[in-house]
Chain A
Amino acid sequence: MTDNDDYILQLENVSKFFGTVIALQDVTLRLRRGEVHCLLGDNGAGKSTLIKTLAGVHQPSRGRYLVEGKEEHFTSPREALDDGIATVYQDLALVPLMSVARNFFAGREPMRKLFGLIPVMDIDYAARVSEEKLADMGIHIRSPHQAVGTMSGGERQCLAIARAIHFGAKVLILDEPTAALGVKQSCNVLKLIHTARARGISVIFITHNVHHAYPIGDSFTLLNRGQSMGTFAKQDIAKEALLDMMAGGAEIQGLVAELEGRVAA
């Protein structure tokens, strides 16, 4: 990690306590500009707390949070968002009953003046842009006025990501984007991450699935029980080694061995 120190986002020795619970302890995470950084960890490893700290929902109890080398103290997700740090949560922040266009621009409605006087939402613009951006992601919708509830999980994921990119995200934090998806849809999301990187966006990809993380990731940080087990560049670590380090990796191999043994016997 010495060749390129152009970090867009840094957490330096960050700890987060909730009362007596130590959710994160001395975690260091450095995101290079334009890389896909995978954050791996099992349930309860502290991934959610880490994301929420990055997104400005939580403030670190100890340690420093730097954006482009400058220390920041976000007090709300809005501030992080204004700094170009967009988080796509698992629930996607989409409203199923609302149309695609209205969802896409919720909270950041495009405006125009009716009769040059009354500010109204520019629904035509919202419809056109949301349809275009989804088409860029390879998703063709019946109409931008259809309810988001009629879209599949993968399409919704793409909509949320397309929205974040459209609103000028420099850093995209994806919280388990492939967790609820099928094989093909997961593949689409991975492609999308690749597209985002190609456009110069830095990505933090949170997952517990090494098979999804390894093909797309440039570097990997492993989290276990609130502590970082280190960051590894892709060339320095093999997929199997990552699997082994993941909590439960050894257990699964043990299980595999046991099952194979039974079949053999």
Chain B
Amino acid sequence: MSSTSSPLLRTTSKDPITVQSGAMQSSALQNDERVRRISPWRSFISRPEFGSIAGTLLVFVLFGIFAGHSGMFNLDGVMNWAQVAAYLGIIAVGACLLMIAGEFDLSIGSMIGFAGMMMAVPSMFMGWPMWASVLFAFLGCMALGGLNGYLVMRTRLPSFIVTLAFMFILRGLTLVLSTYFSNSTIVSGVGDKVSSDPVMSTLFQGSTLHGLFVWLAHTGIIDKLPNGEPIVAGMPKVLLWWLLLALGAGFVLSRTRFGNWIFTVGGDSAAAQNVGVPVRRVKISLFVFTAFCACLFGVLQVADVGSAAADRGLQKEFEAIIAAVIGGALLTGGYGSVLGACFGALIFGVVQIGISYTSFDSDWYRVFLGAMLLLAVLFNHYVRLHATRSK
């Protein structure tokens, strides 16, 4: 692990090939008659996020037909499903990067509940200021993520098993903490405490861009309530967080050195080791990032709902993984995209909320999602065969 960056510096100058004349390099420009050109369409459909973009379009068309006049696509309706998508999107981004690196975290959902308790218990029962409790929750979750990662790397056990254990441990601890301190499965009153802390409420509570929405209401672009206020007070903070996180993670994955390491580590961790990628560091830091995302979900939800509860985030780990898979991430790692995972989360939001706008029974929600997942997996499987097939 001593030097991961230094060899780079000497690549061009000492390189015996670049010293040679341009005669050899021109050969790169010749076309090999056996090399087939690929149409832009073909290269588009083989991108990892194609499946989820197509799926999103499909879902929009379906709900456009069945719920087009129900108000689902009015601004308040949009905010409704966009928020659901945003919550899921936040953890899907983390799950997606981790999955590309070849690992899973099944403790995400329990981590959401546990994060809420780590935020609620010190602030409500120990007299900590809100900011300290929130900081404690983030540090605690990230430490747990680090522990998850360390155990996986140290024991070489599948992350599936290790994080499955933490899924139960954390869910249990959440319940234990809640009943010990509040004698119930809910700790309430946390939301008010967040509101009284200006920094915490600015970061995690309510909505933003209020002025813009008021102005939009004035010009008549969006609807007004009877009292003159815009129908939607602003953009929910959770949407902003999702956007920031997705942009950041997408940038890191596709443009930076660390992103290249994520792909290498997930694609073949022995190969990554041999070319000098710090496999352990990459994977552990992604476990920490995933835990950070879960904590962000938990904190935002507690601030929004007002209470912490023992059953928060139940099954969210599966939803996050499904979103990542619909988004083109391979369960075996090495392939996927943040954009895809975000579309996967969007599909979730639209279907979950949209179904209540239609005449369909909302019990069909899971059937639909399961079918979506199956389709996505079959599609991705085909893409992978296509991508790795030798000539």
Contacts and interface: CB of A to CB of B under 8 A. Distances in A.
Contacts of B390: 149-153
B28 A97 contact: no
Given A108-B11, A121-B257, A135-B24, A200 B16 contact: yes
Contacts of B38: 142-143
A152 B260 CA distance: 23
A131 B28 contact: yes
B126 interface: no
Contacts of B391: 150-152
Given A152-B390, A166-B15, A78 B1 contact: yes
B335 A109 contact: no
A111 B274 contact: no
A143 B36 CA distance: 10
Interface in A159-218: 165-168, 199-201
A233 interface: no
Nearest to A134: B28
B32 interface: yes
Interface stretch (A4-12, A22-30, A86-94, A255-263): A86-94
B8 A147 contact: no
Contacts of A143: 38
Given A93-B271, A107-B272, A165 B260 contact: no
A56 B337 CA distance: 35
Contact of A165 (B7, B16, B267): B16
A110 interface: yes
B156 interface: no
Contacts of A33: none
A110 B334 contact: no
Contact of B267 (A98, A105, A134, A135): A98
Nearest to B252: A120
Interface in A215-253: none
A77 interface: yes
23 contacts: A78-B276, A89-B274, A94-B271, A95-B263, A96-B387, A97-B334, A97-B335, A102-B263, A102-B264, A105-B260, A106-B277, A108-B8, A108-B11, A108-B276, A110-B8, A121-B259, A135-B24, A135-B25, A140-B30, A140-B31, A149-B388, A165-B16, A165-B17
Given A135-B28, A140-B27, A142-B38, 16 more contacts: A78-B2, A82-B7, A93-B270, A93-B274, A97-B263, A105-B260, A106-B264, A107-B4, A109-B260, A132-B25, A136-B25, A149-B387, A151-B390, A168-B7, A168-B14, A199-B17
